[in-house]
Structure 1
Amino acid sequence: MQMFMLGMISMGSAVAALLFLRFWRTSHERLFLWFAAAFLCEAVNRAVFAWQGAGDEAALPYLLARLVFFLLILGGIADKNLRKSAPP
């Protein structure tokens, strides 16, 4: 059952990444690109975790991948808020 749930989380993250890529393609807003990269990282992380047999979830490589996931989201938010907007 755990393998099934990991697969579903991986698939959901991949779908979210594709949706954010579509939003980025239509609006060219960099925040969507940051979010797409973050969700793609999470999808790969969960897929590799399921592929390895769902052993110890607190292992260092999986925790580092999640750290990258959250840092990408924070980087995207910081980029959005700190970027100078063009005058109208």
Structure 2
Amino acid sequence: LQLMVVYLAILGGIGTAGVPSGSIPFIIGILVMIGIDPALIAIILGVDRLLDMCRTTLNVVGDITAATFVARSEGFELLQTKENVGIG
């Protein structure tokens, strides 16, 4: 049971990081599997909204950082023009 919970948590962390509120089905599945009362799940989901915003923000920042690193290592320079950033 513990290995199954760890396996599902890892899959949930990998597969739902870029989707806002995408972790909720995985959270519910894991909590039901270990026998948590459904009323307690509702309380956890209320707190999860704040945590979800943090997870999504960190995922986007990490993706942007990785894309910038790969682009620069391949010799591409990011252009900072008014047209690219939507000014004017």
Q: TM-score range by the shorter chain?
A: 0.3 to 0.5
Normalising by structure 1, we get a TM-score of 0.37
Higher relative contact order (CA closer than 8 Å, sequence separation 6+): 1
Normalising by structure 2, we get a TM-score of 0.37
* Higher-Rg member (1/2): 2
